[in-house]
Structure 1
Amino acid sequence: MEEANIPFFHVDIASEVLSRLSAKDLSSSKCVSKGWNSFISSTSFLHILSKRLEREGPSGLFFQMFKDNVDCVSRPITYIPIHKNKSFVQNNILNFLPEKVVIMSSCNGLLCCRSCIHPIGDIYRRVRNREAKELVIYICNPMTKEWIALKPEGCVVGDSIGLAFYPFGYSLNTRPIFKLVSIQQSKVDPHLYSFAVYSSQTGSWTTSKEVCHCRYQIYKNNKVFVGKMFNWLTQNHHILSFDVERELSKVIKLPGEASSSLILGCAEGYLHYVCVHGEDFSVWMLKDYSSSEWVLKYQVTLVDTCQESYTDLTHCNVKRRLLLAFHEDLLFMPMDRCLFSYNFRSRKLQQLCYISMLQDLILSNPTVIPYSISLAAAGVFKEDQSDENKSSEDLRDVSSLKISKRKRTC
C-alpha cells in the first residue's frame, strides 16, 4: 500500500465512514500514515466532518458562575462532555491558560475567554484612581491546548466579547481567520452602544462607526453568533444584533409574550429563541433579519418532554424553569436535581448529570456556552520558530503568534 493514498477505500466511502468517528479517534488515525494524515486534514473532508458534527449538536457545555460587573474566577470553569451514555464534570480543562479567565463565547472549535478585570474585591473598595485591570483576550482550542493572547490597542474594548471563527476562510481569503466583536455601553448615554472589531487577517482592532440606540440593557452572558450576526439578549423582550461584515446594528423585538425563562441559540444556521410559558416550551426561529420575521418552529408541553424518558413530575416547577442553553435543536435545562438535554427533533430527553455535581452553579444564572470539537480548528495557531523559548508572559504579545494554515499535529 502506498502511503500517499488510501487505495482500499473509495473517496466517498472513506469520507462517509471516517466522518462518523470521534475527533479523538480521527486525530489518532492521522498517525497511521502520511496518506491518512493528508486525507483527514484535507479541506474537503473537514467540510464534510464539520457539517456532520454541526447536525449532531455540541460536544459539551462550559459553565461559569456569572454576576454582572463581577468576575467570579475564584470558582472553577466547569465542562460537561455530552456522551450518549454518560456525562461527567471536568473542572480543569482550561488549566493550560496562564491565568484564571472569564469565558465569553465559542465558535467552530475555538473558545474565547478574557482576563479578570472585575475582581470581587473591587466592588467593596472605595479607592479613587485605582489602577485599571489589564484586559487580555485569549483564543484557545481546548482539545489541542493551543492558544493565543490579544491585548487591545488603539480603541476601547468592553468586557462582553463575541467570537466568529471561519476555519475555511472568509470572503476571498481561504486561510482560517477569526473575528472578535466587543460591545460597550456609553457612559454618557446608557442607551447608546458602540462596537470594537478585531480581525486576525489584519491583526488589529478598529472602532466601528456604527452606534446603536437601544433603550434596553443587554445581558452580557446571553449572546450568540449566527452566520454573520452577533446577537445579545436584552431586557424588555428584545435582542440587539450586529452584522460583523457590514458593521450595521439593529434592535429586534422577540415574538410572542414576554417570559422570565428564555434563551438564545442557533440551529441550522438560524438564530433561535426559546421560552417557557406555563407548561409550554416554544422555539422560535428568526427567518429573516431584514424583516424581523419570526416563525414558530416547535411547541411542546412539559408532559411531552417527559413522556418517554422521565415520568416523575412531582418536583418539577415549570414557573421556575431555568433554560441554560440551546444549540442545534438541543435544549439544556435542570429538572428535579438533574441536568437534562431535550432533543426537539427526536423528542428524546436525556439525563446528563446530577445538579449536585455542578455545586451551586445552576442557581447563579451561570454563563453556559455550548462547545463543539472541530478538527478544522486544530493547528490553526502557528508560533514563530524564533520564539519557541518565550515565557507565558511573553506569549501574551500576539505579534509573536499568528493564525496560519493548518499544520500537521500528528
Structure 2
Amino acid sequence: MSSMDQGRRPNKFIANRNNKIYMDLKDIIREHALPFLPAKSLFRFKGVCRDWKLQISTPFFAHNQSNNFHRVMGFFCQSQSKPPSFISLDPNSCGIPDPSLQFLPEPVDIRTSSNGLLCCQGRTGEQPYYICNPATKQWKKLPKPTANHGSNPALVLIFEPSLLNFIAEYKLICAFPSADFDNAYEFEIYSSSEGSWTISREMFFGGAMFMPCSGVHVNGIVYWLSKMGGGGIVFFDLTMERTQRLYSSQNGCLGVMDGKLTVTSAYGQALTVNVLSNSYTNTMGMNSRVKAWDRKLHVNLSDRSELGALPSYTHSAHDQGAVLFASGDVIVFRCDRALHTYDMKTKEFGRLSCEIDNDVRFFGYVNGLVEI
C-alpha cells in the first residue's frame, strides 16, 4: 500500500461522516423545526420535496404545529357593514388564502379568536355561530344557543392546544343581558366536547354593559370590559361558575402577557401597560395598601411626532380606543387612522401599511393548522 493511498482513506471516512451529518440535519429540520413555523410558510414548504409534503399534510403534524406555534403574527379587522380583512406582521411567512372568509356559507361578523380559530356570526336568518380555521378553510356551524344572545354578543372563544387532545376542543362563552331580570347578565357556554350549550346558574347583577370584542381568557377566568360608571372589568370563573366585578380605574385594551391579565392604554402621548397582580383586593379592607395592578410598561410618545395624534378612548359599543391589540409581546395602536406596532422585546416601533375606520374591530390571529 502506497503512502498516497494511506493518505486518501481518512478523507473518504470524513466524507461519509459529513454525509451522515447532513442526513441527520435534514431529519432534524423536518421533525423539529417545521412544527414551529406559521401555516403560510408550511404550505410553501410542501414544494421542497415529497417527504416534506407528506409530513406537513398529516393530521399528526397539524396537531403538533398547533401545540408549538402560538405567536400572533397577523390580525383580522372588520368595520360595520364591511367584510373582514387581514393584516400580516410578516406577509412572506404568515397569511391566509381568503381574508374575507368567503368560504363560509354566508357573510359573517368576526366575534372572537383564539390560537388559530375564529368565531364568526352569520348576518342572515338565525345568525348562527361558525367556528373556522381561515388557514385551512375548515369550518363548523354550532347548534343554536338556548338563550337569545342579542345582535352584538359579548363572546370569548377559548382554544388551548394540548398534546393529550388530538381532537381540538374549545369553549365559547357568551355574556348576554338577562330576559328575566333588569340590569343583569347571564352566561351561556358551548363545549365542543359535549356538542351543546349550557346556561350557567350564576348571574351578574351589577348594572353593567359588557363590551363586545373586549373579552380575554386567563387561567380559567374570562374577563370583559364593562361600561359601568366610567368603566370597569367583570370576570367569570369557569371552574367555580362565579362572577364578580373587579374594581379598577384601568381603561384600555385587555390582553394576556406572561400568563397574567393586562390593560394597555394610550393616553396623553404615553403608552402604558398595567398587569393584574392581585385580583382579591375587592375582599380586603378599605385601608388595605395591597395594590391590584402593577405597571409593566410606560413609553413616552411625545417625542415621536411621526406617529400622529392618539384618538380618545370613548368606551362606545363599536370603538376599541387607541389600543386595538395588546397580548404577548405585540401592541397595536392607532394614530390619525394609521396603525402602529410596538414590540415589547425589541422596544421598536413599526407601522402597518393600511388605514382603518374609526369603528374597526381587531382580532389577533395565530397562523395555525389546527383541524376542527
TM-score band (shorter)?
0.7 to 0.9
Matched residues, number: 328
Deviation at 1:44, TM superposition (A): 8.6
Q: In the alignment, is residue 105 of structure 1 matched against residue 123 of structure 2?
A: no
Q: Which residue, 187, 192, 216 being the options, matches 1:195?
A: 187
Cα distance change of structure 1 residues 199 and 145 upon mapping to structure 2, 3 Å threshold? same
Q: Which residue, 29, 44, 51 being the options, matches 1:33?
A: 51
- 1:238 is matched with 232
Deviation at 1:316, TM superposition (A): 2.6
Deviation at 1:75, TM superposition (A): 1.6
- Contact 1:331 / 1:343 at 8 angstroms: preserved in 2? yes
Q: Secondary structure, in 3 states, of the residue corresponding to 2:215?
A: strand
Q: Which residue, 160, 164, 172 being the options, matches 1:166?
A: 160
Q: In the alignment, is residue 316 of structure 1 matched against residue 306 of structure 2?
A: no
Deviation sequence 1:280-313 (CA, Å, 0-9, x none): 2210112344457322111111147x4xxxx536
- 2:287 is matched with none
Cα distance change of structure 1 residues 90 and 223 upon mapping to structure 2, 3 Å threshold? farther
Which structure 2 residue ranges, 5 or more long, are not aligned? 1-21, 283-291, 314-320
- 2:288 is matched with none
Query: What is the alpha-carbon distance in structure 2 between the residues aligned to residue 267 and residue 104 of structure 1?
Result: 21
- 2:210 is matched with 218
- 1:24 is matched with 40
Taking only aligned residues, the RMSD between alpha carbons, in angstroms, comes to 3.4
Q: Given residue 84 of structure 2, which amino acid in structure 1 is its aligned partner?
A: I
- 2:256 is matched with 266
- 2:331 is matched with 331
Deviation at 1:112, TM superposition (A): 0.1
Query: What is the alpha-carbon distance in structure 2 between the residues aligned to residue 297 and residue 24 of structure 1?
Result: 33
Q: Secondary structure, in 3 states, of the residue corresponding to 1:312?
A: helix
- Contact 1:339 / 1:354 at 8 angstroms: preserved in 2? yes
- 2:301 is matched with 302
Q: Secondary structure, in 3 states, of the residue corresponding to 1:222?
A: coil
- 1:282 is matched with 272
Deviation sequence 1:133-189 (CA, Å, 0-9, x none): 5131000000000101013254444533221113327xx866421111111112454
- 1:83 is matched with 90
Deviation at 1:354, TM superposition (A): 3.2
Q: Given residue 209 of structure 1, which amino acid in structure 2 is its aligned partner?
A: R
Q: Given residue 328 of structure 1, which amino acid in structure 2 is its aligned partner?
A: G
- 1:228 is matched with 220
- 2:13 is matched with none
Cα distance change of structure 1 residues 40 and 204 upon mapping to structure 2, 3 Å threshold? closer
| Percent identity of equivalent pairs | 27
Determine which structure has more spread, i.e. the larger CA radius of gyration.
Answer: 2
- 1:180 is matched with 172
Query: What is the alpha-carbon distance in structure 2 between the residues aligned to residue 89 and residue 318 of structure 1?
Result: 30
Q: Given residue 79 of structure 1, which amino acid in structure 2 is its aligned partner?
A: F
Deviation sequence 1:89-145 (CA, Å, 0-9, x none): 99853011111111110011100011226xxxxxxxxxxxxxxx5131000000000
Deviation sequence 1:359-394 (CA, Å, 0-9, x none): xx2x22x2211111123x1xx23xxxxxxxxxxxxx
Cα distance change of structure 1 residues 44 and 223 upon mapping to structure 2, 3 Å threshold? closer
Deviation at 1:220, TM superposition (A): 1.4
Cα distance change of structure 1 residues 85 and 279 upon mapping to structure 2, 3 Å threshold? farther
Query: What is the alpha-carbon distance in structure 1 between the residues aligned to residue 91 and residue 144 of structure 2?
Result: 41
Q: Given residue 281 of structure 1, which amino acid in structure 2 is its aligned partner?
A: L
Q: Given residue 182 of structure 1, which amino acid in structure 2 is its aligned partner?
A: C
Deviation at 1:337, TM superposition (A): 5.0
Query: What is the alpha-carbon distance in structure 2 between the residues aligned to residue 186 and residue 41 of structure 1?
Result: 43
Query: What is the alpha-carbon distance in structure 1 between the residues aligned to residue 361 and residue 104 of structure 2?
Result: 19
Query: What is the alpha-carbon distance in structure 2 between the residues aligned to residue 232 and residue 15 of structure 1?
Result: 40
Which structure 1 residue ranges, 5 or more long, are not aligned? 1-5, 66-71, 118-132, 382-410
Deviation sequence 1:38-80 (CA, Å, 0-9, x none): 8993589436622xx43xxx22111122xxxxxx3x3221211
Query: What is the alpha-carbon distance in structure 2 between the residues aligned to residue 247 and residue 64 of structure 1?
Result: 32
What's the TM-score, normalizing by structure 2?
0.76
- Contact 1:81 / 1:87 at 8 angstroms: preserved in 2? yes
- 1:139 is matched with 131
Q: Secondary structure, in 3 states, of the residue corresponding to 2:240?
A: coil
Q: In the alignment, is residue 49 of structure 1 matched against residue 68 of structure 2?
A: yes
